[in-house]
Structures are given as structure tokens and as C-alpha cells.
Structure 1
Amino acid sequence: MILVTGGAGFIGSNFVLDWLQGCDEPVVNLDRLTYAGNLSNLAALQGDSRHHFVQGDICDQALVDRLLAEYRPRAIVHFAAESHVDRSIHGPRDFVRTNVEGTFSLLEAARGYWARLSNEEQAEFRFLHVSTDEVYGSLAAEDSPFTERNAYEPNSPYSASKAASDHLVRAWHHTYGLPVLTTNCSNNYGPYQFPEKLIPLVIANALAGKALPIYGDGQNVRDWLYVGDHCSGIREVLARGVVGETYNIGGWNEKTNIEIVETICDLLDDLAPAAEGSYRRLIAFVPDRPGHDRRYAIDARKIADELGWRPQETFESGIRKTIGWYLDNQAWVEHVQDGSYRDWLETNYRLRRSDR
């Protein structure tokens, strides 16, 4: 049995689905079901006795204590987080609460549980903390990609809150001996991603004939990782990672934002042609967001050399799969695009409109 936090969100739900597709070890799935948590992501597991869903908050330590005592998991895989930079700019308090206080509560519950295990169970237990490359800050064009030894230089409320959670995980290992693992991933994309993030937002807006907003000059660079590859990397770290170590998981796919948007437009021109010409006509540059990091890039050689993990998808294969999924699952997209989502988009972009 493993306990997964945030298992109804984008990456968490993909991980749970992949886990139960590949093995019969049950999962306890703890998720608060905020706007980005969606039980429909897990519809394929309805009635599956291996999946135990619990709606709850990682900040509720009493609840986590009860779940650990009841299910006695051999590992905790911690995805639960507020994760959108734009939302962190408008409302940082929620990010501190979930990402910092929530991780603290979870660590304390795990520490108490682990201390009561037998010696053999203690040796097998793992607390795997899923984090982001954004904790490392921003790279210049000529800089080498982030390694696990890069200093932390977070530049947004989101990345600062994740950096704080990373430090807590490290401290609970070095101070209390809790057997932890940390992964720092690059930008994920794929099925079930909430359409506030770049790739699903562009797909949804293009199909609706709406503007495709690009911050600044569109030259911000990210390393893109297909979510299925990320899940396989986490499984490898959980199975064979060295306790106390950090592993960067990247896709070796550096792309500018404008490249991403133009690629999506061109694929949609082929897969779902618009009546009025290319989707590129919808591209609209908007004023940049505050503190927008210029470039992220992951050096994933450590996980490759030590654990033998490498991404299976190129960006070209992964983005085609992703667009195909969204085209085939328009009902899911419509379901998550409720009134509060539309209000959020209006709030975020209303002051960032430009004709240039």
C-alpha cells in the first residue's frame, strides 16, 4: 500500500492511473479537491478495490495520522501543492499554506508513523517529495542546465513556497532520520492538465477561436517533460533512489513559448482545421507577468546514470499525443471550464492585453 497526496490533480492522477495499470499494489489517494483536483480524472478506477480515495487536506494532521494508522502504507508520494505561478502572484497565502504548512504537517505525521514501525518496516519506508525546477531560479541563455547541486534562487511566491517545502523535507531527514527522496521536475504536459497552464490553455482557446496569449516576447524557455515520463521517473526513484538524495527529472526538450504555441497551432491545423485559416492568426502577445523567469533547463544525467531512467517521449511525439487526448476529451475540458475558471482568466489577463 502507498499513500499518494494530490492524486486527483494533473500529475498525481496520471501517477495513480499509471501505478495501478502497472501493478496491483493498492493506493490511498488523499486530495482536497480544489479547483484543479478532479475526480473525473480517475473515472477509470471507479469500483476498483485497489484505489481508496479520501477527500481531505494535508494540513489536517489528525486526518493524515488516522490514514497512516489505518492503511499502514510503505511509502508516501507527495504531489499535493498549489502550482500555478500566476495564481501565486495574485494570492500567495494559499501557496504558503498548502506548500509549506501542508508539507510540514505531512512530514510530522510521517515522522510519528515511521517511529512506530518495526526496524524492518522503517528500513523499507520512503517519503517521496515531488518538487519543481523553478526552485533553482532563472538561467541565462549561455548557462548550463540545472543540476542537483544548483543553489536555490526562487523568484515567485510559488517557487519560494516549493523551495521552503524542499528544505523542510531535507531537514526532517538530517534531523530526524526520516527516509526521504526529492524529485525536481521540469514543465509537465499531457492528459488531464488544468487549462490555466500554457499547453492546455492554447489548445482550448484555439478550438474556441479565442486569442492565444503569449507573455512578453515569447522567448522564455522551458524544458518540457511528458507527464507519463515524469511518472515513470518517480517510480524509479521510489524503487531504487538513495535515501536523502535529490533527482532532477527533465525531458531534454528546451523550447521557447512561441515555439510551443506555433507547434500546437500547426498540429491543430492538421488534426482539427479551423474554417478561417491557420490557428496562428489567434496568437496575441500580452505584457509580461512580474518576475517571469527567462529560462529553465534540467540536467537529468544523475537519474540516467544512477537509475537508468530516460524519457521515452520526444516533444514531437508527446505533444501530438496530448493534442489528440484533448480533442478526444472535449467533455472533460468543458466540465472544468466553469464560471470560476472564466473569472480567473479574466482577472489574470485583463491588464495584459496588447496589439503588438
Structure 2
Amino acid sequence: MDSALVIGGTRFIGRHLVDDLREHDYDVTLLTRGNRENPFAEDDRVNHVEGDRTNETALEAVAASVDPDAVFDCVAYHPRDVRAATGIFADCDAYVYVSSGAAYGREEIPKREDRTPLESCTAEQATDDSFETYGNRKAEGDRAAFAAAEEGIRTMVVRPPIVYGPHDHTERLDWWVDRVNRFDRVIVPGDGTNLRHRVYVEDVASALRIVAERGEAGEAYNVGDRRLVTLQEMIELIADSLDSVARSDTERTDGEQSGPRAGDVELVHAGPRELAAGDVTLDDYPLYRSYPHVLSTSKLAALGWESTPLEEAMQQSVEDHLESDRDGDENGPDREAEERVLGILETL
């Protein structure tokens, strides 16, 4: 395959996917509504077509003018979007739908592509736009992709859990980086052993390309960090990355530290009872999940895919955070509430 169409390629996953495809010598075309700045505007190797992917006429026009070998659908949020796209791009060599680990409908460890049931989806949920039906809609999109494969169309599904890395507009990881960077004492919800699968965005990008090139029609592939860490271990990785940046700044200036604060950060555990002092709950914390969410990634690894070492992935994520104006402030408890919790813990 030599050419690719990325539907939604200027913000986060799609942005990294375009970079990965260009590194592997693909001719790339983006389809977006043009509502956000195009980071590839000055790159003559990347074409940009404006259009609404929910408009079938617009998709048909792109299919006719671009005629891509592979289509990567990063912004299909309703089952009807998948059904329309798989039909319009039926003659392409590969159609890869970006689904989600939220599509799984049963809690088990790990969640496996061919064994763990998917969420159900009613007709009402299929057209809803709320967060509560996100997993239902993604699951129905999976079923639409599988149905297309049964009709002879080479469609595949990739299911990532929480994605993190440079240009992450969700700012979920940014909230934690900001906490560790600014404060000496950081609250860890619960006992710190919470386990929620995450995946570095560049690994999602490479997975999408590899699935298009080597995947089997009608199959789903989980993508996630091959090495899982608890929430506390994630926070410790952030602290180590911040210290590494601080040391680098010190070496460059040959004097006192500039940039991020270095040094030990005290991690303070707080359960539901202690958090109540600040009117905070465990679930208020970004990336916390009461039941472990773990995806098996062996099926994808069998295609030759590899994940980035966690230390490298976190280093890149932290450096991008420090260069941005993101703080994730809206994703978790405010510091005043946490200070009340820390005050209670000091009296115990």
C-alpha cells in the first residue's frame, strides 16, 4: 500500500498517525472539517481535504478523488458512520476503524478480542451523543465493521484504552503531571494499586498502520502498553521524568536549576473516608478506575507490533506538557479541596 486517507488527522491520534505513515513513505490525505489548525499545512507531502465525514456525499467525493489504498477512520462516533464509510471505501485495500476498550461489555482480566462480550447498543443509544453511550456506540461500530468484512470488504478494528502522549487534548495525564510538578505532596486515591490500562499515542499510530498492512479482515486488535503499571507507579514515572528534565536544564545552564522543580514528592494515600473531608471521591481523580481494566495485546504483538518503553513514553509526554499551556485543571479535584484532605490526614 502506498496511499492513505486519514479521516480526522489534525488533533491527537490522527496527528501521530499521519507522522507514522509519512515515516513509512505513504502519500497521505487528511479529511477534516477544517475547524482546527492543520499542523501539516506547510507539509507538501500531506494533502488536506475539507469535508464533514457524516456527510456521505462528501465521503463519496473523497473516495473518487483520492482513491486511497488504506482508510483510517479516527472520528467515527456512531455506527452509521462506520456503515457508510465501509460501503463507500469498499474497494480499498484496508479500512481500519478506531474503536475503544470501552466497547467491552463485561469486566474480566484481561479483556480479549475474541472472548470478551461487547456492549449492547439500542437504536436510541446508536444515535446518542452522551459519554454514557460511548462504549455502546463503539461496540456497534465494531459490529458494523465485522458485517462489512463478511461482505468481502477488508475491514479491521483497533481498540485502545486511555490514550496519552504529546498533543493530548483530553488533559487527563496533564492533571497528574501538573500536580507532581507544582506540589510537594500529592494525593493518591485509594492504596495506589489501581490498575487501568493506558497506551502511548505513537503506539496507537503504529498499530493502526500495522493492522492495515498485516491484519486479517473482520478481526479486532487491542492496543495498549505492553508493560502495565499501577496509578502510583505512573505517578512515580512522572516524577522521574520531571527530575530528568530538571537535571537536563541544570546541565545546560551550568548553574542553579531552571524549569521544573526536582526532588522527592511525597505521595499521600487517601481512601473514601479521608477524601470526604474535601468533598472528593475516588472517581473524581483522572485515570482512576475501581475495577482493573486490562486488555490483552498478544494478538497485535503477533503481527510484529511493539510498544514504546514506558520511561521513554512518559518522558516525551512530560516534555510536551511542559512546553504546552495544558494543566488538566478541569479533570480532577481542585487543590483547595485536596488541602483539606491533607489537613485531616495530618491529624491521624
Residue 247 of structure 1 aligns to a residue in which SS? strand
1: CA distance, partners of 2:300 / 2:89: 29
Query: Which letter does structure 1 place at the counterpart of 2:47?
Result: H
Of the three residues 56, 59, 63, the one matched with 2:58 is 63
Which residue pairs with 1:90 in the alignment? none
Which residue pairs with 2:162 in the alignment? 187
Change (3 A) 1:277 1:239: closer
Residue 129 of structure 1 aligns to a residue in which SS? strand
Which residue pairs with 2:12 in the alignment? 10
- The 8 Å contact of residues 138 and 296 in structure 1, kept in 2 or not, is answered as no
2: CA distance, partners of 1:184 / 1:15: 15
Change (3 A) 1:270 1:237: closer
1:288 aligns with 2:282: yes
2: CA distance, partners of 1:49 / 1:275: 40
1:221 aligns with 2:221: no
Alignment of 1:88-127 (within 5 A): 99-100=77-78, 103-114=79-90, 122=91, 125-127=93-95
**Offset of 1:127 from its aligned partner?**
1.2
- Unaligned 5+ segments in structure 1 are 82-98, 115-121
1:27 aligns with 2:28: yes
- The 8 Å contact of residues 31 and 50 in structure 2, kept in 1 or not, is answered as yes
Alignment of 1:212-291 (within 5 A): 218-272=192-246, 278-280=264-266, 286-289=280-283
Change (3 A) 1:54 1:282: farther
1: CA distance, partners of 2:7 / 2:266: 38
Of the three residues 299, 303, 308, the one matched with 2:304 is 308
- The 8 Å contact of residues 16 and 201 in structure 2, kept in 1 or not, is answered as yes
* Number of residue equivalences: 305
**Offset of 1:207 from its aligned partner?**
4.1
- The 8 Å contact of residues 185 and 265 in structure 2, kept in 1 or not, is answered as no
Residue 23 of structure 2 aligns to a residue in which SS? helix
Residue by residue over 1:147-206, the C-alpha shift from the partner in whole angstroms, topping out at 9 and shown as x without a partner, is: 4321124895322222122122222333x4332111112333222112522x23322454
Change (3 A) 1:144 1:72: closer
Residue 148 of structure 1 aligns to a residue in which SS? coil
Name which one, 1 or 2, has greater alpha-carbon Rg: 2
Of the three residues 34, 37, 40, the one matched with 1:39 is 37
- The 8 Å contact of residues 233 and 249 in structure 1, kept in 2 or not, is answered as yes
1: CA distance, partners of 2:43 / 2:67: 19
Residue by residue over 1:12-56, the C-alpha shift from the partner in whole angstroms, topping out at 9 and shown as x without a partner, is: 100101211220x3222123467xxx536x2xx333222122344
- Unaligned 5+ segments in structure 2 are 121-130, 247-256
Query: Which letter does structure 1 place at the counterpart of 2:281?
Result: P
Query: Which letter does structure 1 place at the counterpart of 2:29?
Result: V
Query: Which letter does structure 1 place at the counterpart of 2:301?
Result: A
Residue by residue over 1:275-314, the C-alpha shift from the partner in whole angstroms, topping out at 9 and shown as x without a partner, is: 6964547998641339945212222222233x22232x22
Change (3 A) 1:215 1:68: farther
Residue 75 of structure 2 aligns to a residue in which SS? coil
**Offset of 1:78 from its aligned partner?**
0.8
Identity of aligned residues (%): 24
2: CA distance, partners of 1:126 / 1:28: 15
**Offset of 1:59 from its aligned partner?**
1.4
Change (3 A) 1:56 1:227: same
Bigger drift between 238-247 and 57-66 goes to 57-66
Change (3 A) 1:147 1:33: same
1:168 aligns with 2:180: no
Change (3 A) 1:212 1:57: farther
Residue 177 of structure 2 aligns to a residue in which SS? helix
The TM-score normalised by the length of structure 1 is: 0.72
**Offset of 1:216 from its aligned partner?**
5.6
- The 8 Å contact of residues 211 and 283 in structure 1, kept in 2 or not, is answered as no
Residue by residue over 1:126-156, the C-alpha shift from the partner in whole angstroms, topping out at 9 and shown as x without a partner, is: 211112222225646xx34534321124895
Alignment of 1:124-139 (within 5 A): 125-137=93-105, 139=107
Of the three residues 52, 71, 76, the one matched with 1:76 is 71
Which residue pairs with 1:146 in the alignment? 112
| Backbone CA RMSD of aligned residues | 3.5
Query: Which letter does structure 2 place at the counterpart of 1:190?
Result: G
The TM-score normalised by the length of structure 2 is: 0.74
Considering fraction of residues, name the structure with more helix. Answer: 1
- The 8 Å contact of residues 82 and 145 in structure 2, kept in 1 or not, is answered as no
Which residue pairs with 2:134 in the alignment? 158
2: CA distance, partners of 1:125 / 1:287: 48
Residue by residue over 1:203-224, the C-alpha shift from the partner in whole angstroms, topping out at 9 and shown as x without a partner, is: 2454455996766655431233
Query: Which letter does structure 1 place at the counterpart of 2:300?
Result: I
2: CA distance, partners of 1:212 / 1:67: 49
Change (3 A) 1:283 1:138: farther
